[in-house]
């Protein structure tokens, strides 16, 4: 999987160099390239935003630098081009599988009031939101989507760890415990230390169902 991220704030992407995604990048399982849109500004002051036509508060990202950056990074339109936008389709676990079917993603991050509409009309395949709230920029959404997609790339996380996770079969995951067996008076359920794998599986399934009912009853309607 190759992911190109286009942003005015490349420094914000340091978190993707850490932990599991950082290791996946280092080992070459995923390729993440962050491109600074400002490098594609033709303005002598590298300006990338301007006032909005029609009046109103806030600045809009100008089309030229963004269009130049997209054309430079993805000249043959081989990437699925996605604009991070609160107006877009809400990203969910279902979309992870869809995005994994592409070899290459281009995630475009807006900032300020957003990006000139002509960029979306000319270059973008779809708009995607990470939830019904407005953030200051598309950088966190791009990191959220990158993380959620990359953990499913072969070899990034063991297949076993991805089994029975929350959202599998429209259930949330069962409770997890580790050592010590007793913490502040609370004990690990006996079944988990019984060594009886069939009973452990049964307990986990039943706890998943109970927790889903309690925390996410909406999933059971799906
Ligand atoms: C302040 S927002 C612009 C909001 C825009 N004026 C509106 O009302 O729809 C700036 C940028 O943050 C990003 N953004 C904000 N909220 C987002 C969300 N929930 N999901 C994805 N991207 C978001 C988008 O790239 C957007 O262009």
- Residues 15-30: tens digit of each pLDDT: 999 999 999 999 999 9
d(CA 101, CA 188): 40
pLDDT band at 44 (very low <50, low <70, confident <90, very high): very high
- Name the DSSP letter for residue 112: T
Centre of ligand 1 to C-alpha 87, Å, is 8
Where residue 195 falls (left for φ over 0; alpha for ψ -120 to 50; beta otherwise) is left
CA of 140 to the centre of ligand 1 (A): 10
Q: Tell whether ligand 1 has an atom less than 6 A from the beta carbon of residue 5.
A: no
> Is residue 5 within 8 Å of residue 109, measured between CB atoms?
yes
Listing DSSP states for 58-104 in one string gives SEEE-HHHHHHHHHHH-TT--SEEEEEEEEEEEP-HHHHHHHHTSSE
199 alpha carbon – ligand 1 mean position (Å): 47
Per-residue pLDDT at 164? 87
Q: Check whether 80 has a pLDDT greater than 90.
A: yes
What residues contact residue 32 under an 8 Å CB cut-off, 6+ apart?
A: 2, 3, 5, 13, 16, 21, 25, 146, 150
pLDDT score, position 32: 98
The first and second tokens of residue 82, run together, are 């996605």
The torsion angles phi and psi of 108, rounded to 5 degrees, stand at -100, 125
Q: Specify the residue with its C-alpha closest to ligand 1, atom 4.
A: 113
Give percent of the chain with pLDDT exceeding 70.
100
Length of the chain: 222
Decide: 7 in ligand 1 pocket, CB within 6 A. Answer: no
pLDDT, tens only, 135-167: 999 999 999 999 999 999 999 999 999 988 999
* CA of residue 205 to ligand 1 center, whole Å: 39
pLDDT at 59: 98
Distance of CA 218 to the CA centre of its chain: 22
Domains of the chain: 2-150 (3.40.1280.10), 164-220 (1.10.1270.20)
- Ligand 1 site, residue 208, Cβ cutoff 6 A: no
For residue 212, give both structure tokens.
């889903």
Whether the CB-CB separation of 62 and 38 falls below 8 Å is answered with no
Per-residue confidence (pLDDT) for residue 62, from 0 to 100: 98
């Amino acid at each position: 999987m190759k992911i190109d991220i286009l942003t005015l704030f490349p420094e914000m992407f340091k978190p993707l160099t850490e932990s599991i995604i950082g290791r996946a990048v280092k080992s070459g399982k995923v390729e993440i390239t962050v491109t600074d849109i400002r490098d594609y500004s033709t303005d002598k002051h590298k300006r990338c935003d301007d006032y909005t036509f029609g009046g109103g508060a806030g600045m809009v990202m100008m089309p030229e630098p963004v269009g130049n950056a997209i054309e430079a990074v993805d000249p043959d339109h081989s990437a699925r081009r996605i604009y991070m936008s609160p107006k877009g389709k809400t990203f969910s676990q279902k979309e992870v599988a869809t995005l994994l079917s592409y070899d290459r993603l281009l995630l475009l991050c807006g900032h300020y009031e957003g990006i000139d509409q002509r960029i979306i009309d000319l270059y973008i395949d779809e708009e995607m939101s990470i939830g019904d709230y407005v953030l200051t920029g598309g950088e966190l959404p791009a990191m959220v989507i990158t993380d959620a997609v990359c953990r499913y790339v072969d070899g990034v996380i063991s297949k076993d760890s991805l089994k029975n996770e929350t959202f599998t079969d429209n259930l949330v995951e069962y409770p997890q415990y580790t050592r010590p067996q007793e913490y502040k008076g609370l004990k690990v359920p006996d079944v988990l230390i019984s060594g009886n794998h069939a009973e452990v599986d049964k307990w986990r399934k039943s706890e998943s169902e109970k927790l889903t009912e309690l925390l996410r009853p909406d999933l059971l309607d799906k």
